[in-house]
């Protein structure tokens, strides 16, 4: 193995790949921000290295981390992150790159194996990136994430410690009409320390909604509100009651998690810019009901989910985050719904965390 290189060039990485190939060996390639190295990273990189004979890490440069992870990131500059990574036994070479995707590097380096952590599947990789890897003949391997270990969790714990005594947690009010799996995902993210928040209240328009049972099992405060007789609408007294209850619970941010009725005044005014919704399509495509069926009927190759702010127009407020999900041949409404649902469960807590930080910071 050559002397370890921190911040090698793409050309050096390509030459390294050729050298390994000549020796009948395989280069494993992976990429990421690796901002605050934690044990999840260390285990993942060890597993990735074990897929071949040498591991090359493409490390996002500082500008691309800021674009991918938002303001305040990276915590550590690229040179430091590269040096720390290269000090690991499992890492043989580090290349810093400024794009958000590894398409160009994949074309240039043509790794034998591409490893990706996680909540991805081969199908949910970015199409351009996947195309470049397939063209390069790279075998794509998805490795499981180490549960409960994440940079955002580390940051949330630090923040919580800093706030201890003086700070306060974001208070969420969750509204749902159905299963409540998004509520569960939000609670799990809170439990893992990934956001500094608590669920102050869960409200449903349906007495029999599973979300109420799930919330009660978690010991959360639950309320059912009588919505009135018009499907999809919420009668004025119900709008008022929900508004009063959210205010009484001192809610900072209202989370619609499968709430199937349209909000109006006084709720929208009382919580202006403070109501979020998750919708199962890449808005502005397929707003309204049955977004999965709409996507299938339109014959699109890709759909996904969107978190957006709630305004008086249904599914039209500012988009805060999206996740793409491929539509596969033979997909049914159920299979597509299930795959999109999974992505909602990571997207929604992440966006809530980002919005919540700004609220707590007084922005």
CB of 235 to ligand GAR, least distance (A): 19
173 lines the binding site for ligand GAR (CB under 6 A)? no
CB of 289 to ligand GAR, least distance (A): 7
If the CB atoms of residues 247 and 311 are measured against ligand GAR, the closer one turns out to be 311
CB of 68 to ligand GAR, least distance (A): 24
138 lines the binding site for ligand GAR (CB under 6 A)? no
339 lines the binding site for ligand GAR (CB under 6 A)? no
Query: Is 279 in the active site?
Result: yes
Encoding tokens for residue 108?
């240039």
According to DSSP, the residues that pair with 303 across neighbouring strands are 325
Enclosing H/E stretch for 56: strand 54-60
Task: Tell me, rounded to whole angstroms, the distance of Cα 70 from its chain centroid.
Answer: 13
Q: Which of 79, 69, 72, 27 is nearest to 49 (CA)?
A: 27
Q: Which of 115, 65, 110 is nearest to 90 (CA)?
A: 115
If the CB atoms of residues 155 and 278 are measured against ligand GAR, the closer one turns out to be 278
CB of 182 to ligand GAR, least distance (A): 3
If the CB atoms of residues 241 and 344 are measured against ligand GAR, the closer one turns out to be 344
* Catalytic member of 112, 279, 308, 341: 279
What is each CA distance from 152 to 45, 121, 245, 256, 330, in whole angstroms?
A: 18, 21, 31, 23, 36
**Residues ≥6 apart with Cβ < 8 Å to 37:** 81, 84, 85
Binding to ligand GAR by CB under 6 A, coded x per residue (else -) over 251-280, reads ------xx-------------------xxx
If the CB atoms of residues 222 and 278 are measured against ligand GAR, the closer one turns out to be 278
202 lines the binding site for ligand GAR (CB under 6 A)? no
Whether residue 277 contacts residue 315, with contact meaning beta carbons closer than 8 Å, is answered with yes
Number of residues that bind ligand GAR (CB under 6 A): 14
| Tokens 């071949």, residue located | 52
If the CB atoms of residues 243 and 278 are measured against ligand GAR, the closer one turns out to be 278
CB of 236 to ligand GAR, least distance (A): 21
Which of helix, strand or coil describes residue 204?
Answer: strand
Answer for which of 118, 131, 178, 321 binds ligand GAR (CB under 6 A) is 178
Answer for which of 176, 193, 317, 349 binds ligand GAR (CB under 6 A) is 176
Whether residue 109 contacts residue 14, with contact meaning beta carbons closer than 8 Å, is answered with yes
308 lines the binding site for ligand GAR (CB under 6 A)? no
State the distance between the two ends of the chain, measured CA to CA, in whole angstroms. 51
**Residues ≥6 apart with Cβ < 8 Å to 209:** 176, 177, 178, 180
Enclosing H/E stretch for 8: strand 5-8
Answer for which of 73, 341, 343, 350 binds ligand GAR (CB under 6 A) is 341
Active-site amino acid positions: 279
Q: Where does this chain bind ligand GAR (CB under 6 A)?
A: 176, 178-182, 211, 257-258, 278-280, 341, 344
């Amino acid at each position: 193995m050559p002397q370890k290189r921190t911040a090698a060039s793409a050309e050096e990485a390509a030459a390294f790949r050729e050298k390994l190939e000549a020796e009948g060996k395989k280069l494993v390639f992976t990429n990421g921000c690796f901002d605050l190295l934690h044990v999840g990273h260390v285990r993942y990189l060890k597993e990735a290295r074990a897929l071949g004979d040498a591991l090359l890490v493409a490390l996002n440069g500082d500008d691309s981390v800021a674009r991918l992870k938002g303001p305040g990131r990276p915590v550590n500059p690229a040179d430091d992150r590269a040096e720390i990574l290269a000090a690991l036994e499992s890492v043989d070479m580090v290349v810093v790159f400024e794009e958000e995707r590894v398409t160009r590097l994949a074309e240039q380096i043509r790794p034998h194996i591409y490893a990706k952590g996680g909540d991805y599947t081969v199908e949910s990789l970015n199409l351009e990136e996947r195309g470049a890897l397939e063209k390069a003949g790279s075998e794509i391997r998805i490795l499981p994430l180490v549960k409960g270990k994440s940079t955002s969790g580390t940051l949330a714990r630090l923040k919580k410690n800093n706030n201890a005594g003086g700070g306060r947690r974001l208070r969420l009010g969750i509204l749902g009409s159905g299963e409540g799996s998004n509520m569960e995902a939000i609670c799990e993210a809170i439990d893992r320390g990934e956001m500094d928040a608590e669920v102050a209240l869960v409200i449903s328009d349906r007495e029999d909604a599973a979300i109420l049972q799930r919330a009660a099992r978690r010991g959360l405060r639950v309320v059912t509100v009588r919505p009135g007789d018009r499907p999809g609408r919420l009668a004025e007294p119900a709008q008022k009651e929900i508004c009063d209850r959210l205010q009484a619970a001192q809610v900072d941010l209202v989370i619609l998690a499968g709430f199937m009725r349209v909000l109006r005044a006084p709720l929208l005014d009382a919580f202006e810019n403070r109501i979020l919704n998750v919708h199962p399509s890449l808005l502005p495509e397929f707003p309204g009901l049955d977004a999965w069926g709409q996507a299938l009927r339109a014959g699109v190759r890709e759909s996904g989910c969107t978190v957006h702010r709630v305004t008086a127009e249904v599914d039209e407020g500012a988009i805060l985050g999206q996740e793409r999900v491929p539509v596969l041949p033979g997909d049914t409404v159920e299979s597509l719904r299930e795959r999109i649902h999974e992505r909602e469960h990571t997207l929604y807590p992440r966006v809530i965390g980002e919005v919540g930080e700004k609220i707590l910071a007084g922005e």
